[in-house]
Homo-oligomer: A and B are copies of this chain.
């Protein structure tokens, strides 16, 4: 299964330009599953709710999601990407830091970030949808469990764990990382759950009202042994695709006597 990351630098507020960049990077490339960064349509540092309102979209017909649908259909591939989601909930408009999984047949699934980082709490509502696993099939792969999590979700081992226990074989991890830990910590997330992880991170920096954030690139793909299959550069636009066998993530045996799921002693754990 050809699994890839698209690492790039979203230009803040320039949705059309970001779509163009994504289309250019995807041109001529073949993949079955492609993961883009968090908030790939909009950029990260919002200055006001009005700005977020303008840049967010409804997943069913938003500009960015529709552009990804076209790529998905054309490539006959699944695409995961972060974007600022607008939602009408009981007459009230809410915003979520979401990711979308788009199927080439037009279906789509939404995940809303449950662990908001820092000033995201000013703009976004915390995710209110269970961590779900979606089964996907395509050329040469069938019924593969896909989980989504977003950036800071990695810090909480419970996120990847819940996805793995619910059948995720590949965790698609759209990110805008600023802390220095995640790219090396993902090795533990992959290993402890015996899953593939695909962390697609953005590059570049954003400055807004005296605030500055530098994003660390270095997108990584890991196998269920916690081995790095791919590491991106710190600062370059890249679309990289590697071949993985997602069936490897179905095997939770570490040896002939230890199965990491059957060995769990949940009666002793905290929820």
Q: Residues on A close to B: CB < 8 A? A: 114-119, 121, 126-127, 130-131, 152, 155-159, 161-162, 165-166, 181, 184-185, 187-188, 191-192, 226, 254-258, 260, 263-266, 268-271
Contact = CB atoms under 8 A, between A and B. Distances in A.
Contact of A191 (B166, B185, B260, B265): B185
A79 B121 CA distance: 44
For this chain, the copies found in one complex come to 2
Contacts of A131: 268
B260 A156 contact: yes
Contacts of A115: 263, 265
A152 B113 CA distance: 31
Given A155-B260, A181-B226, A270 B162 contact: yes
Given A257-B121, A269-B162, A156 B188 contact: no
Given A185-B188, A271-B271, A265 B157 contact: no
Contact of A188 (B188, B256, B263, B269): B188
Contacts of A263: 115-116, 156
Nearest to A185: B188
Most buried by B among A126, A152, A158, A187: A158
Contacts of A265: 114-115, 126-127, 156
Nearest to A156: B264
B114 A268 contact: yes
Given A116-B263, A156-B260, A270-B271, 20 more contacts: A115-B263, A117-B258, A118-B255, A118-B256, A118-B258, A126-B265, A127-B265, A127-B268, A155-B260, A156-B263, A156-B264, A156-B265, A158-B268, A158-B269, A158-B270, A161-B269, A161-B270, A162-B268, A184-B187, A185-B191
